[in-house]
Chains A and B, each alone.
Chain A
Amino acid sequence: MTEKSLHIDWIACDGRGLCTELLSELLERDEWGYPRALGYGSDVPVPRQLQDAARDAVALCPRLALTLS
């Protein structure tokens, strides 16, 4: 399994907070509720053990703001 990267589309994102629940090891919420990965911007590397959670986050994002590639 190759290293995957979670891309956040900031125009679509509305900070609803589902991804930060599912990927709490990876993402935290900023003071407006938007996801934030310390040290990264729009593309966040996803460790192997979090890839299932990342897929759930992509499928459940109410704004279709996430892609995993």
Chain B
Amino acid sequence: MSEALWALGRGTGVISLILITVSVVLGILTRSGRPAFGMPRFAVTLVHRNASLLGSVFVLVHVVSLFFDPYAELRLVDFFVPFLGTAKPIWLGLGTVSLDLLVALIVTALLRRFIGHRVFRAVHWFSYAMWPIALAHSLGDGTDAGTVWFLTLAGLCTAAVLGSVGWRASRVFVEFRGTRGAEEPA
């Protein structure tokens, strides 16, 4: 039973990393107002939202399975308060920080219409903190972190996020930039 929980905890952690990377990349791409990967704009937003929600479900299974797993030595307080863990407290704590941020991101996204766009966006910017903290947790805490397949996956995720951040920072990011830019004073 504990072998099964351990395998489930590791597997769901990897799937969470993939889904949240997809969500972060699509979140950045949809901000440009352009279609992406052959999907119309509304589909990019829908896949961004659904990848986040599905990723959160996998994160939930990840923490619950490791809570019942004897190797991980998780306590309930480690779900919410970082850096108190018994095994690898720093790396586990990064996972707790990213979980706390993920909860804040999901709750404010679901309540977007009630809390208003400004609050939503202020919290949503923390995605840029949540993703690298979650990646660091997977590399520091994950027992598969030394394997070639995991390092390849982590490298691909990093390249995807850095690539989209680089594009976002570039001058041509926003759609209609040419037309809108022409209206601005020089």
Q: Which residues of A contact B (CB under 8 A)?
A: 12, 14-18, 21-22, 31-33, 56-57, 60, 62-64
| B12 CB, min distance to chain A CBs, angstroms | 28
Name B41's contact: one of A18, A31, A32, A63 (CB within 8 Å): A18
Instruction: Determine if B33 is an interface residue (Cβ-Cβ < 8 Å).
Output: yes
Name A33's contact: one of B30, B33, B116 (CB within 8 Å): B33
Q: Give how many B residues have a beta carbon under 8 Å from the other chain's beta carbons.
A: 17
Give residues of chain B (90-121) contacting chain A, Cβ–Cβ below 8 Å.
Answer: 112-113, 116-117
Contact, CB under 8 Å: A33 / B42: no
A64–B116 alpha-carbon span in the complex (Å): 8
Name B33's contact: one of A16, A31, A57, A60 (CB within 8 Å): A16
9 further A-B contacts with Cβ under 8 Å, apart from A16-B41, A21-B40, A64-B117, are A14-B33, A16-B33, A18-B41, A21-B42, A32-B179, A32-B183, A60-B45, A60-B46, A62-B30
Q: Which residues of B contact A (CB under 8 A)?
A: 30-31, 33, 40-42, 45-46, 112-113, 116-117, 175-176, 179-180, 183
Closest to A56 in B: B42
A14–B175 alpha-carbon span in the complex (Å): 10
Contacts between chains A and B (CB distance < 8 A), count: 42
Closest to B175 in A: A33
A60–B117 alpha-carbon span in the complex (Å): 13
Contact, CB under 8 Å: B180 / A32: yes
Closest to B32 in A: A16
| 23 pairs from A and B in contact (CB 8 Å cutoff) | A14-B33, A15-B33, A15-B175, A15-B176, A17-B175, A18-B41, A18-B42, A21-B41, A22-B42, A31-B176, A32-B176, A32-B180, A32-B183, A33-B33, A33-B179, A33-B180, A60-B45, A62-B30, A62-B45, A63-B117, A64-B113, A64-B116, A64-B117
| A53 CB, min distance to chain B CBs, angstroms | 10
Closest to B43 in A: A21
Residue among A12, A33, A62 facing the most chain B CB atoms (10 A cut-off): A62
Closest to B120 in A: A64
A19–B45 alpha-carbon span in the complex (Å): 12
| A1 CB, min distance to chain B CBs, angstroms | 22
Across the interface, which residues of A come within 8 angstroms of B116, CB to CB? 64
Across the interface, which residues of B come within 8 angstroms of A18, CB to CB? 41-42, 45
Closest to B180 in A: A32
| B108 CB, min distance to chain A CBs, angstroms | 13
